[in-house]
Structure 1
Amino acid sequence: MLVVNAQVQGFRPRQKPPQSLPCVFEPKKSLLTVRRAVWLILRHSTAQTEADLHTIALLKKLHPDLNTAISLAKDFADLLRRKQPERLSEWLQNAQQSNIRAIVGFTAQLKDDLDAVINGVTYQWSNGQVEGQVNRLKVLKRQMYGRASHELLKKRFLCSI
């Protein structure tokens, strides 16, 4: 293969390489994913840059049906950040009237356990740590199911703490 390549090189006319290559394309900008869009929208307003605000405005312009969803999401995030449970019933009403299927479903789930949601917004305490420990123990139990005695399971629980 190298012999053929060397022979062909002799037949080709020599060209001078260009001094600088012309710019054929612009570098690709990163695409706006759903996760990034949600992050931009729900980010605290003090942390948003001009580019973020421009991206949100462009998103609203390209998809006018998202205006309601964006405003409802921002209002809900603000309600949670400021711990204002008195605004929750008004937000639920507005969200229910929006006729956006995902948001209406979300409000239905919130209404099912409204007392817990109000307590979650009101109090600074959370049972997240406890739920995390329970989940960890259940995973260990599932992994050990049918494999060994209760004594080994007990030792594994104690060693994982």
Structure 2
Amino acid sequence: HAMIRKKAEMELEPWIEESKRSLIASFANGIANYKGAVHAAITQPWSNGQVEAQITKLKLVKRQMYGRAKLDLLQARLIGAP
């Protein structure tokens, strides 16, 4: 978490090697497999967090209303009454 917050991409490789010898070895192997994407996530200023949050909210409301409402009520709950 600190590595991402500080944008310290130079710490990624040593962290992977150290983590491969610990209890989180399978997680570290997954990070090593996607090292390019993880490096980009640390160094790039862009994030899709807002998009993911909106999708999660939509799915939550949709699950809560499953079988009880049609599209018009779902739209009213997400966007507001027209």
* Same topology, TM > 0.5: yes
Give the match for residue 28 of structure 2.
Answer: 107
Stretches of structure 1 lacking an aligned partner (at least 5 in a row): 1-75
> Following the alignment from structure 1 to structure 2, what is the Cα–Cα distance between the partners of residues 147 and 113?
41
Percent of paired sites with the same residue: 37
Q: 2:2 aligned with 1:85, yes or no?
A: no
Give the match for residue 159 of structure 1.
Answer: 80
For the pair shown, the structure with the greater C-alpha radius of gyration is: 1
Stretches of structure 2 lacking an aligned partner (at least 5 in a row): none
Q: 2:16 aligned with 1:95, yes or no?
A: no
Q: Which runs of 4+ in 1 moved over 3 A?
A: none
Q: Which structure has more RCO (C-alpha within 8 Å, separation ≥ 6)?
A: 2
Alpha-carbon offset, residue 114 of structure 1: 2.2
| Cα RMSD, aligned residues only | 2.2
Alpha-carbon offset, residue 135 of structure 1: 0.3
| Residue number among 126, 129, 145 corresponding to 2:66 in the alignment | 145
CA offset digits 1:66-97 (Å, max 9, x no partner) = xxxxxxxxxx73x334323243223212221x
Given the two structures, how large is their TM-score scaled by the length of structure 1?
Answer: 0.43
Q: How many residues align?
A: 81
SS of 1:110's partner is helix
Write the mapping of 1:8-157 to structure 2, written as runs, cut at 5 A: 77=2, 79-96=3-20, 98=21, 100-102=22-24, 104-157=25-78
SS of 1:145's partner is coil
